[in-house]
């Protein structure tokens, strides 16, 4: 799916709703969703339209729905980040299963500059980069390099330029498509289930998951061969 909304590629509510629908109800047989952008920026945030409590609440629910859809979709999501990302744009790529960026891309959270504590960002960012880094990035709005974003866990990899970016993502998508989509779904489910567990709880969960997976592999569960 392509993001194409002017120089800044700001997400509109309609764009968020369209992407959410695609994530939750993909075409039959779809396996990988590749998200890229047209223009110099990947996505510098979202258009802010709400001015009343009711409108702001409805707008926020759409944004939350998109974040949830990125975690619940049966698709493997891959972000191809050719340019800068800010605010909700960083949240979009960070919620994807795979994210690769060009070296010249920069990443930041600009909400502090408009007198706003980024509540949606703070719902997920500390889990990715830790509380100290999350505080610093949101409290200052500091722009970080793609290399630093990769160090913090926001990206899988950084490549030198547009041609290398396209080639790298092509190869990653091809590698994903060679594998069983069901196994990718199981991996994503296990990662999500383990987020709220301590190590012992996660290990206990892994026992049941491994037994079920092994029985399915051996054709000893109903509906398997």
C-alpha angle 126-128-132 in degrees, rounded to nearest 5: 40
What percent of the chain is helix, strand and coil (3-state, nearest 5)?
Answer: 55, 15, 30
Residue ranges of domains in the chain: 2-177, 181-217
Phi, psi for residue 117 in degrees, rounded to 5: -80, 125
**CA-CA distance, 26 to 38, in Å (whole number)?**
22
pLDDT digits (tens, 9 = 90+) for 2-28: 999 999 999 999 999 999 999 999 999
Strands (E) across the chain are located at 2-3, 32-37, 41-43, 76-81, 84-86, 98-102, 106-108, 144-145, 157-159
pLDDT digits (tens, 9 = 90+) for 161-212: 889 999 999 999 999 999 999 999 988 988 887 777 666 766 666 666 666 6
What is the per-residue pLDDT for 73? 95
The Cβ of residue 28 has, within 10 Å, a number of other Cβ atoms equal to 4
Q: Out of 3.90.226.10, 3.40.190.10, 3.40.50.740, 3.30.499.10, which CATH number does the structure's domain 2-177 have?
A: 3.90.226.10
> Are 102 and 163 in contact, with CB atoms under 8 Å apart?
no
Q: What is the pTM of this model?
A: 0.86
The DSSP code for 42 is E
């Amino acid at each position: 799916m392509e993001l194409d909304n002017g120089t800044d590629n700001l997400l509109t509510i309609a764009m968020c709703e369209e992407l959410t629908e695609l994530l939750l109800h993909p075409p039959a047989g779809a396996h990988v969703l590749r998200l890229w952008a047209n223009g110099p920026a990947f996505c510098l945030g979202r258009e802010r339209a709400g001015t009343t409590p009711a409108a702001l609440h409805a707008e926020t629910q759409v944004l939350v729905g998109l974040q949830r859809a990125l975690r619940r979709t049966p698709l493997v999501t891959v972000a191809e980040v050719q340019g800068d990302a800010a605010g909700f744009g960083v949240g979009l790529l960070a919620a994807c299963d795979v994210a690769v960026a060009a070296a010249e891309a920069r990443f930041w959270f600009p909400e502090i500059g408009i007198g706003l504590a980024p509540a949606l960002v703070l719902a997920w960012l500390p889990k990715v980069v830790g509380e100290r880094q999350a505080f610093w990035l949101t409290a200052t709005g500091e722009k970080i390099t793609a290399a630093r974003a990769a160090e913090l866990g926001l990206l899988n990899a950084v490549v030198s330029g547009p041609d290398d970016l396209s080639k790298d993502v092509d190869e990653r998508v091809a590698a994903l498509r060679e594998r069983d989509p069901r196994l990718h779904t199981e991996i994503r489910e296990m990662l999500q289930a383990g987020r709220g567990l301590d190590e012992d709880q996660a290990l206990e969960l892994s026992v049941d998951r491994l037994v079920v997976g092994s029985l399915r592999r051996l054709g000893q569960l109903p509906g398997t061969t």
